[in-house]
């Protein structure tokens, strides 16, 4: 029976969400490829830190900073606590926040308050609802309504579905995405879950009318390893390195006509700077926020993000950029490996 510590009846969705939370702190990489990009150092300052404006715009809104907290959780008692903490941090720092996939709440409405806590704790914030590309227009509309969401993330997670014991992949996702984007009355982001996006995928999404993507690349939270660990037979260990890194994906997005959001293994403010330089309008963080939050508490996660936000203007000044527009013009160079990738894919 539910009690105050376990307010929800036993169910497979809550169990899966708790497994994801536990395994995400164990299975993550530390190489999203952004280390292969370097700014050319300049010795004479041209911009004062207090002149820097790190503001940006995406999904029809202006934001004071380019950072957002990406989709993670909901659907269990533990997830409710974490969503509440993330929303408090997002409210204090004025960061957009995405919840984890709402499909659990759509299937089992008693779980809804583990998601709606984000609206309670961040009533005026920019909240993104999240659902899978296998969902219907009605599901998408219900997800947006539940959170009074400002935008909707539709996740594409084919590797995860392939490996997870209860997963399923059907070739109708693009049709669902197109139908949902046309029907919902908030802006839509199509996002990966840490496997990156190719130029081919991005061209298909653009043709389907999608104008904002989160390329969420490989190199941070690793759902191939997480789902493999959830399988009793651990039969897909060899897929641990599948996917395009975050840096590869941002290069792949060069021809995308819309807005690029970048995430996947972002672990410090310099990586935020590099993602913006390569074309992103916003930068998402999931695992790097979850880990201090789980290990040391929400104060530690908030302190880390505060430090990133405080350091970003100084880093802009370091590369002589007073805005994101100016940043995108600063000279950079690539390590040989990344240059080889870009050449093979005809991206340079
Ligand atoms: C995720 N992520 C995710 N994404 C999504 O679209 N829907 C979801 O429900 C979840 N669930 C989820 C749970 C947990 C515990 C984590 C850590 C992550 C994926 C996330 O939004 C992001 O795309 C990847 O984690 C890559 O970014 P990081 O974690 O490397 O910064």
What is the set of domains in the chain, with CATH numbers? 12-345 (3.20.20.70)
- The rounded distance, in Å, linking the Cα atoms of 112 and 168 is 24
User: Is 35 in contact with 220 (CB distance < 8 Å)?
Assistant: no
Consult the annotation and say whether 73 binds a ligand: yes
Backbone angles phi, psi at 140, to 5 degrees: -60, -45
Q: How far is the CA of 59 from the centre of ligand 1 (A)?
A: 20
What does the block give as tokens for 35? 């280390």
Q: How far apart are CA 345 and CA 209, in angstroms?
A: 24
* E runs forming strands in 161-249: 188-191, 212-214
Asked whether 42 and 196 are in contact (CB, 8 A), the reply is: no
- Amino acid 7: pLDDT: 84
What is the ipTM score, two decimals?
0.99
- Nearest CA residue ID for atom 1, ligand 1: 72
Q: Is 59 exposed, middle or buried (0-12, 13-18, 19+ CB in 10 A)?
A: buried
β-bridge mates for residue 68, sequence order: 284
How far does residue 205's CA lie from ligand 1's centre (Å)?
20
pTM, whole model, 2 decimals? 0.98
Could you identify the atom of ligand 1 that is nearest to the CA of residue 155?
A: 6
Q: What residue's CA is closest to ligand 1, atom 22? A: 193
Question: How confident is the model at residue 3, as a pLDDT?
Answer: 57
Per-residue pLDDT of the chain (348 residues), as tens digits, is 455 566 899 999 999 999 999 999 999 999 999 999 999 999 999 999 999 999 999 999 999 999 999 999 999 999 999 999 999 999 999 999 999 999 999 999 999 999 999 999 999 999 999 999 999 999 999 999 999 999 999 999 999 999 998 899 999 999 999 999 999 999 999 999 999 999 999 999 999 999 999 999 999 999 999 999 999 999 999 999 999 999 999 999 999 999 999 999 999 999 999 999 999 999 999 999 999 999 999 999 999 999 999 999 999 999 999 999 999 999 999 999 999 999 999 999
pLDDT attached to residue 2: 57
144 lines ligand 1 (CB under 6 A): no
61: three-class secondary structure by DSSP = strand
Rg (the chain; Cα; Å) = 19
Q: Rounded to an integer, what distance in angstroms lies between the CA atom of residue 296 and that of residue 278?
A: 33
Number of other residues whose CB lies within 10 A of the CB of residue 257: 9
Does any ligand 1 atom lie closer than 6 A to the CB of residue 263?
yes
| Residue 70 CB less than 6 A away from ligand 1 | yes
What pLDDT shows up at residue 194? Answer: 98
Closest atom of ligand 1 to CA, residue 285 = 31
User: CA triplet 92, 97, 187: central angle to 5 degrees?
Assistant: 130
């Amino acid at each position: 029976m539910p009690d105050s510590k376990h307010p929800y009846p036993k169910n497979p969705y809550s169990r899966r969400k708790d497994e994801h939370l536990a395994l995400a702190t164990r299975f993550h990489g530390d190489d999203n490829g952004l280390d292969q990009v370097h700014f050319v150092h300049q010795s004479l300052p041209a911009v004062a830190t207090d002149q820097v404006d790190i503001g940006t715009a995406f999904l029809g809104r202006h934001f004071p900073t380019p950072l957002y907290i990406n989709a993670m959780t909901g659907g269990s008692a533990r997830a409710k606590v974490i969503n509440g903490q993330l929303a408090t941090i997002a409210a204090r720092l004025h960061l957009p926040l995405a919840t984890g996939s709402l499909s659990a709440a759509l299937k089992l409405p008693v779980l809804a308050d583990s998601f709606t806590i984000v609206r309670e704790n961040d009533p005026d914030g920019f909240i993104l609802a999240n659902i899978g590309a296998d969902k219907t227009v009605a599901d998408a509309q219900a997800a947006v309504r539940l959170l009074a969401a400002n935008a909707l993330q539709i996740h594409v997670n084919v590797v995860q579905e392939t490996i997870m014991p209860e997963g399923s992949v059907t070739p109708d996702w693009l049709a669902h995405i197109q139908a949902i984007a046309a029907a919902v009355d908030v802006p839509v982001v199509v996002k990966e879950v840490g496997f990156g996006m190719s130029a081919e995928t991005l061209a298909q999404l653009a043709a389907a009318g999608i104008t904002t993507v989160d390329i969420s690349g490989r190199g941070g939270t690793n759902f191939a390893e997480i789902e493999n660990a959830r399988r009793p037979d651990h039969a897909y260990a060899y897929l641990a390195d599948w996917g395009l890194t975050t840096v590869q994906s941002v290069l792949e997005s060069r021809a995308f006509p819309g807005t690029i959001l970048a995430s996947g293994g972002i672990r410090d403010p310099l990586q935020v700077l590099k993602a913006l330089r390569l074309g992103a309008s916003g930068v998402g963080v999931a695992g790097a926020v979850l880990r201090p939050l789980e290990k040391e508490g929400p104060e530690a996660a908030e302190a880390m993000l505060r430090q990133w936000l405080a350091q970003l203007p100084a880093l802009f000044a370091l590369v002589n950029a007073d805005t994101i527009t100016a940043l995108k013009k600063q000279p950079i160079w690539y390590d040989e490996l990344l240059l080889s990738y870009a050449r093979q894919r005809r991206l340079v």
